[in-house]
Chains A and B, each alone.
Chain A
Amino acid sequence: DTEVTQTPKHLVMGMTNKKSLKCEQHMGHRAMYWYKQKAKKPPELMFVYSYEKLSINESVPSRFSPECPNSSLLNLHLHALQPEDSALYLCASSQEEGQAGANVLTFGAGSRLTVL
């Protein structure tokens, strides 16, 4: 079992829906991440939450909004998505962001999102 838990595993939503993806880690890691992965492409970083500070990939549209209730939880709120947003959304955590050798990513199993 992965130490990073993502729910739901699968999500189908319409373009007018509001939904959330949830991620939890119990490894005491200080950094958490959301990645988006399209088929046959590498993961693309969307957001980083580290030491209570959020870093945003500026290319990510505002219909995606992260929320970090505490250091072990990271949510991704989805609103007014487009069909091209359909992808595998991966949550990951690491001990620390930016420290050489300490930023091995542990990924969750992913949430497969389909936007109709």
Chain B
Amino acid sequence: QKEVEQNSGPLSVPEGAIASLNCTYSDRGSQSFFWYRQYSGKSPELIMFIYSNGDKEDGRFTAQLNKASQYVSLLIRDSQPSDSATYLCAVNRGKSTFGDGTTLTVKP
């Protein structure tokens, strides 16, 4: 079992729709959880981090954490073509471990 698993992509949504990205992790001792966005040929950049159960909202982005289910998600509302990228879930227990990423395409 991989330490961090993301829903297999690619994921395609129309402009203006909600994109839902999911991530599960195996280590119950994980303390903090991150979503990074990576455009093709670029380095990852932080979208959000969360470390308490529940929802955390930042603009069009909402991260959700359920430690009992070992599940993290990222919702992108009103998706834009500029959101097209690979989204990496990272889980930290001392060091960050990345999932394989989900590639999102937002079609105009």
Contacts and interface: CB of A to CB of B under 8 A. Distances in A.
B31 A107 contact: no
Interface residues of B, number: 22
Q: Which secondary structure characterizes the binding site on chain A?
A: loop
Given A103-B32, A107-B45, A109-B43, A45 B96 contact: yes
B98 interface: yes
Q: Name which of B42, B88, B95, B99 has the most chain A CB atoms within 10 A of its CB.
A: B95
A24 interface: no
Contacts of B34: 104-105
Nearest to B6: A42
Chain A contact patch, size range: 20 to 34
Interface in B83-97: 88, 90, 92, 94-97
Given A45-B97, A98-B95, A105-B90, 15 more contacts: A41-B100, A42-B88, A42-B98, A42-B100, A43-B88, A97-B95, A101-B32, A101-B49, A101-B51, A105-B46, A105-B96, A106-B46, A107-B43, A107-B44, A107-B45
